[in-house]
Structure 1
Amino acid sequence: MSGDYPYEYYQFFIKFNEGDYYTCHDLLEDMWMEDKGNLFLKGLLQMSVALYHYSYGNLKGTRIMMKVAHEYLREYRPEHWGLDLEQVIGFIEQCLSAIPDGIDKVPYSEISSLPALPPLFLYLND
């Protein structure tokens, strides 16, 4: 598929690059609900949920969702729907390495003590 994507997919890129992962979840979930067999969308959805979880200190949820996203998205490498999945997979792996082990939850008041996750800016290649 080249260049003719659902409107929500384009909006996902904008919101992801703005760091609005909650909205990313909503955009992708609407698309996924119409095609529940689409594991590419589900992988991006899980990655967005993971980043949202990290933003409020839910490390266990972050780990689980990142691992699931990795599992789903690796099947679509190297590129799918104009997205460089090698870059995305590398990002997920870096995030999994950065998340502190042995901690499931961090109080909101201590979130600033968590290591920053690596940056990722998503772009359509077509």
Structure 2
Amino acid sequence: MNEYPIEYYQFFIKFNEGDYYTCHDLLEDMWMEDKSNLFLKGLLQMSVAIYHYSYGNVKGTRLMMKVAHEYLQPYRPKQWGLDLESVIAYIEHCISIIPDDIDKVSFSKIEELPALPTLFLYLEDD
């Protein structure tokens, strides 16, 4: 089995716990070491998108999900033990339900937005 940076393993734990803000920090630390790694940047953007949605920044969510989708394409079907087909399908599903006609909602109206599906990430053997 491949060895990955400890932050990558921590990312899986925090993502599955729903701590998307910490996911951003973990991935950004790794990405800063290698800014050409668009795989990490794609996961970073997806995490940021989910975080944005949680506080009503719908436009930011839409933009980040689309960028994440674009960045992850070249790494299909699998990268660093992650099944990108399921991740990309998740992103596409999110993009399809994020409202196009709303840019932002107040925190008190978050529950009026369509809920994003839950994604659990798992490391697989390469």
Please confirm whether the aligned pair reaches a TM-score higher than 0.5, indicating the same fold: yes
The Cα of 1:97 is off from its aligned counterpart by: 0.6
The residue aligned with 1:51 is 50
The residue aligned with 1:20 is 19
CA–CA separation in structure 2 for the residues paired with 1:113 and 1:64: 20
Instruction: Give the 3-state SS of the residue equivalent to 1:75 in structure 2.
Output: helix
The Cα of 1:3 is off from its aligned counterpart by: 2.0
The Cα of 1:101 is off from its aligned counterpart by: 1.5
Stretches of structure 1 that go unaligned for 5 or more consecutive residues are: none
Q: Deviations over 1:40-81 (max 9, x none)?
A: 000000000000000000000000000000000011000000
The residue aligned with 2:92 is 93
CA–CA separation in structure 1 for the residues paired with 2:2 and 2:58: 36
CA–CA separation in structure 2 for the residues paired with 1:89 and 1:5: 21
Q: Deviations over 1:67-126 (max 9, x none)?
A: 000000011000000000000000000000111121000010000111111110000012
CA–CA separation in structure 2 for the residues paired with 1:74 and 1:125: 19
The residue aligned with 1:5 is 4
The residue aligned with 1:79 is 78
The Cα of 1:31 is off from its aligned counterpart by: 0.3
**TM superposition score normalised by structure 1:** 0.97
Fraction of identical pairs, as percent: 79
Stretches of structure 2 that go unaligned for 5 or more consecutive residues are: none
The ranges of structure 1 where at least 4 consecutive aligned residues each deviate by more than 2 angstroms after the TM superposition are none
CA–CA separation in structure 1 for the residues paired with 2:120 and 2:49: 16
Q: How many residues align?
A: 125
AA aligned to 1:115 is: P
Instruction: Give the 3-state SS of the residue equivalent to 2:75 in structure 1.
Output: coil
1:115 aligns with 2:114: yes
Q: Deviations over 1:9-50 (max 9, x none)?
A: 000000000000000000000000000000000000000000
CA–CA separation in structure 2 for the residues paired with 1:7 and 1:101: 37
